[in-house]
Amino acid sequence: MNIILLGPPGAGKGTQAGFLVEDRDMIQLSTGDMLREAKDSGTEMGKLVAGVMARGELVTDEIVIGLIREKLQGDKKGGFIFDGFPRTLAQADALGELLEDCGETLDAVIELEVNDEVLVDRIVGRAAETAAAGKPVRADDNEESLKIRLMAYYKQTSPLIGYYHAKGMLQGVDGLDEMPAVRADIAAILDK
């Protein structure tokens, strides 16, 4: 089973993807994590995307599609969770083609529904907790980048809600619920 977790920054996609990895032996494909890894290891691509990411803008479709293409060749285990990908309509089309090429299907698109005030609190809170623990804070976890990240979500990513709705694939869960409740809602959708 292959699924997309859709939702704005701070909606809880990464957390819920982690639960799905634990519960169902699925593979989490987070393009954000892959890009941060490239940046931290100082690859050419990493250097190219660092500034764009810190500002909160989207990196090019070509780069993220290339990252996902590579991962789809590997072990499929209990299926893929696409976390933070696709983020544009072009990426969504590309994902459909990539899955078809490797004989896979997309089984569900789960939208984590939240509101902006909660996102700002969560992300600013995440940064404060990380700093208090003495760990490096994400360069884009600040209020200015967050505004740009939210705008990128509404402008470029939220059209995917209509796109997948039209394909009959979209399922919404209340992302404002407690984490275990969201986890249970997602499980119920996948077990249907």
86 cis-preceded (ω within 30 degrees of 0): yes
**In the complex, residue closest to ligand AMP by CB:** 32
Q: Any catalytic annotation for residue 183?
A: no
Catalytic residue among 24, 55, 76, 126: 126
- 149 belongs to the catalytic site: yes
Q: Would you tell me which residues interact with ligand AMP (CB under 6 A)?
A: 9, 31-32, 35, 52-53, 56-59, 64, 84-85, 87, 91, 140, 149
- Which residue out of 36, 39, 87, 183 is catalytically annotated? 87
Q: Is 76 a catalytic residue?
A: no
Between 139 and 189, whose beta carbon lies closer to ligand AMP?
A: 139
Q: Which CB, 128 or 188, lies closer to ligand AMP?
A: 128
Sheet containing 170-174, strands listed edge to edge, beginning at the edge strand earlier in sequence: 27-30, 80-83, 3-6, 108-113, 170-174
Side chain identity at residue 159, one-letter code? P
Minimum separation from the CB atom of position 191 to ligand AMP (A): 26
- Per the listing, tokens 């494909």 go with 29
Nearer to ligand AMP, 49 or 186 (CB): 49
CA 108/CA 169 separation, integer angstroms? 5
Closer residue to ligand AMP, CB minimum distance, 29 or 170 = 29
Q: Are strands 170-174 and 108-113 parallel, antiparallel or unpaired?
A: parallel
Q: How far is residue 108's CA from residue 2's CA, in Å, rounded to a whole number? A: 7
Catalytic residue among 13, 36, 39, 183: 13
Instruction: Specify which residues 29 forms β-bridges with.
Output: 82
Q: Which is nearer to ligand AMP, 35 or 182 (by Cβ)?
A: 35
Minimum separation from the CB atom of position 52 to ligand AMP (A): 6
Please report, as a single letter, which amino acid is at residue 74. Answer: G
Query: Which is catalytic among the residues 77, 138, 155, 167?
Result: 138
CB of 47 vs ligand AMP, minimal distance in Å? 14
**Neighbouring-strand partners of residue 109:** 4, 170
Is 138 a residue of the active site?
A: yes
- Count of CB atoms situated within 10 Å of the CB of 45: 16
Q: Bin 95: left if φ > 0, else alpha if -120 < ψ < 50, else beta.
A: alpha
Q: Is 13 a known active-site residue?
A: yes
**Residues tagged active-site:** 13, 87, 126, 138, 149
